[in-house]
């Protein structure tokens, strides 16, 4: 299987170029569900140790249904599919450029949650116009065992997020194990209290938010991803959700730049415009996320039928 790896603001993406499963016809959402339900071993084998590690997000190219799209793409992590993925979209654009498949300018990719448009500015820099993003629930309180009451918002940025300032752990690199523990506890408490996104959508990302470390930036975060790995980047969909909350609170005007820091100090630059069209939820915004990605490897993954860990090491 031929893959090409990149990282965006520190967060890795593995693009499957050849050798992925065939997912048949249907909408991107239907094909993504098929990938998750029928090809879980493929996803884990590609991403997890011994060929990778649990922070990698996979990108599988599939034919698009929407007109004018360069490609369809399904993002996956070891726990299942992602609706959209900001860092992987930036990584995908840079990788397609590296392969000579796209050049500078605007291109459209179809994802299971909608079409996104990307602008490749140069070899490494990309802006992504994300799907309409919005706050669904404001200021809900969940009691988290070992942490206490935690207040936060539920918002959509292409995935469902719970955003809170109440993690109780400083947003510092040295604190990553504690931040991971608290965010996983919050996610468990949300699930056990039946708190979901719209239509029962699972809140599979937790975003701990706080003030920026650098005076040049506007906010900092720690984002826990569905597979239990933290996002090294500021999380494109997570910061889209954050910007939607700021817009809903009247704290960020349209077209104003918001620079978001990650837990490793990498940054994305965002702004939004109001989302238009009948299908956009009330108050939704259309965030643009700008960041940089770098190609790190092109390789062939080998699968030996005698290998007891052919489908990856899954932990207990
Ligand atoms: O950048 O949207 C993102 C993302 C989601 C999970 C990991 N990265």
Per-residue pLDDT of the chain (316 residues; tens, 9 = 90+): 999 999 999 999 999 998 899 999 999 999 999 999 999 999 999 999 999 999 999 999 999 999 999 999 999 999 899 999 999 999 999 999 999 999 999 999 999 999 999 999 999 999 999 999 999 999 999 999 999 999 999 999 999 999 999 999 999 999 999 999 999 999 999 999 999 999 999 999 999 999 999 999 999 999 999 999 999 999 999 999 999 999 999 999 999 999 999 999 999 999 999 999 878 898 999 999 999 999 999 999 999 999 999 999 976 4
Cα 187 to ligand 1 centre (Å)? 16
CB distance 179 to 222 below 8 Å: yes
* DSSP letters spanning 121-172: -SSSEEEEE---BEEEEEEEEEEETTTEEEEEEEEESSSEEEEESTT-S---
Per residue in 104-131, is it b (16+ CB within 10 Å) or e — as a string? Answer: eeebbbbbbbbbbbbbbeeebbbbbbbb
Cα 300 to ligand 1 centre (Å)? 25
Per residue in 257-277, is it b (16+ CB within 10 Å) or e — as a string? Answer: ebbbbbbbebbbbbbbeebee
Ligand 1, atom 5: closest residue by C-alpha: 85
Cα 307 to ligand 1 centre (Å)? 31
- Nearest Cα to 161, choosing from 73, 222, 88, 78? 222
Which CA distances in Å does 116 have to 36, 170, 251, 287? Answer: 22, 34, 25, 11
Q: Which atom of ligand 1 is nearest to the CA of 88?
A: 1
**235 catalytically annotated:** yes
Q: Which atom of ligand 1 is nearest to the CA of 8?
A: 1
Name the catalytic one among 43, 69, 225, 235: 235
User: What span, in angstroms and rounded, lies between the C-alpha atoms of 4 and 15?
Assistant: 5
Q: Alpha helix (H) ranges present in the chain?
A: 28-38, 40-47, 86-98, 176-192, 236-248
86 lines ligand 1 (CB under 6 A): yes
Pseudo-torsion of CA 138, 81, 218, 270, nearest 10°?
-110
What is this structure's pTM? 0.97
Per residue in 286-303, is it b (16+ CB within 10 Å) or e — as a string? Answer: bbbbbbbbbbeeeeeeee
pLDDT tens track for 29-76: 999 999 999 999 999 999 999 999 999 999 999 999 999 999 999 999
């Amino acid at each position: 299987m031929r893959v090409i790896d990149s990282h965006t603001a520190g967060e890795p993406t593995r693009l499957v170029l050849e050798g992925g499963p065939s997912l048949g016809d249907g909408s991107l959402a239907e094909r993504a569900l098929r990938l998750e339900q029928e090809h879980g071993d493929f996803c884990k084998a590609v991403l997890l140790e011994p060929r990778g590690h649990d922070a990698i997000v996979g990108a599988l190219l599939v034919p698009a249904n929407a007109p004018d799209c360069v490609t369809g793409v399904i993002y996956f992590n070891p726990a299942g599919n992602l609706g959209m993925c900001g860092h992987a979209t930036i990584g995908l654009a840079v990788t397609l450029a590296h392969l000579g498949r796209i050049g500078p300018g605007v291109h459209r990719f179809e994802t299971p949650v909608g079409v996104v448009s990307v602008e490749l500015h140069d070899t490494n820099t990309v802006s992504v116009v994300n799907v309409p993003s919005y706050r669904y629930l404001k200021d809900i309180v969940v009691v988290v065992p070992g942490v206490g009451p935690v207040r936060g918002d539920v918002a959509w940025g292409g995935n469902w997020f719970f955003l809170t300032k109440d993690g109780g752990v400083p947003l510092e690199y040295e604190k990553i194990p504690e931040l991971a523990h608290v965010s996983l506890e919050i996610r468990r408490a949300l699930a056990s209290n039946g708190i979901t996104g719209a239509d029962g959508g699972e809140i599979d990302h937790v975003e701990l938010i706080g003030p920026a470390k650098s005076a040049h930036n506007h906010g900092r975060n720690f984002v826990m991803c569905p597979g239990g790995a933290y996002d090294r980047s500021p999380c494109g969909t997570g910061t889209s959700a954050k910007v939607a909350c700021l817009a809903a609170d009247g704290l960020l005007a349209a077209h104003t730049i918001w620079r978001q820091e990650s837990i490793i100090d990498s940054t994305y630059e965002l702004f939004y415009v109001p989302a238009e069209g009948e299908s956009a939820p009330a108050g939704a915004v259309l965030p643009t996320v700008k960041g940089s990605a770098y190609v790190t490897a092109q390789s062939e993954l080998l699968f030996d039928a005698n290998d007891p860990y052919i489908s990856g090491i899954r932990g207990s």
